Amino acid sequence: MTTSRRFESISGILNKTATNPTPEPAGPPAPAAAEEPASTGVTTLRPTTRRPPAVDTPTPPPAKASTSADGGVRRIAFRLDPDLHTALTARAADERTSHGQVVLDCVEAAHQAGVLTDLVAAEATPAQTDGLFPRLKSRSTAQATIPVEIRLHARAATALDQLVDQTGADSRTQLVVVALRHQLT
């Protein structure tokens, strides 16, 4: 009988079990006790209680803090040119607050002044439509930028996203950059 390599280590055991299903005694047979009568082998069982069958109800996964209604913290990443980053860092140090709070203060101030939509519109470069075919926006020359990551309450991040939609900004980064430029320079 051939077996796969995977079962070679137990093939001897399998062959013995297949030919002799009763296990062999481990040692010499124990002498029978003549003085004591054999027990009947009956044991008393505890009464069984019937339980209702288990119902598999899937438990919903716990909600993440960032998706719950009351908040959570979200990380927002964007890039700033070095001069604007220096101004942001200086303002945060002067006010003894975080970059995130300075960003929110600048966006809120520009929004309350009613200039946020105008700032976004001035920043946008319109696509060229002078000829038969529409042209893509021209890219500006590459400039060094510094990555910035701020932590905001989920509701603040949602408010930023709504302002992006309201102002027609291309992204959160564009909205943040125009607000920071307006307030810090």
DSSP 108-165: HHHHHTT-HHHHHHHHPPPPP-SSSS--PPPPPPP---EEEEEEEEHHHHHHHHHHHH
- 42-65 pLDDT, tens per residue? 666 676 677 666 666 666 666 655
72 and 66 Cβ atoms separated by less than 8 Å: yes
- Mean pLDDT within 88-107: 96
Domain edges within the chain:
72-125+144-184
| pLDDT for 50 | 72
In whole angstroms, how far apart are CA 60 and each of 63, 72, 134?
9, 19, 49
For the packed helices 116-123 and 172-184, what is the interaxial angle rounded to 10 degrees?
110
* pLDDT score for 124: 73
Q: What is the pLDDT of residues 140-150, one digit of tens each?
A: 778 899 999 99
**Which residue would you say has higher pLDDT here, 92 or 49?**
92
CA–CA separation, 125 vs 136, rounded Å?
A: 10
| Helices 154-167, 99-112: crossing angle, 10 deg rounding | 40
Kindly state the average pLDDT of the residues 160-169.
93
- Write down the pLDDT at residue 104: 95
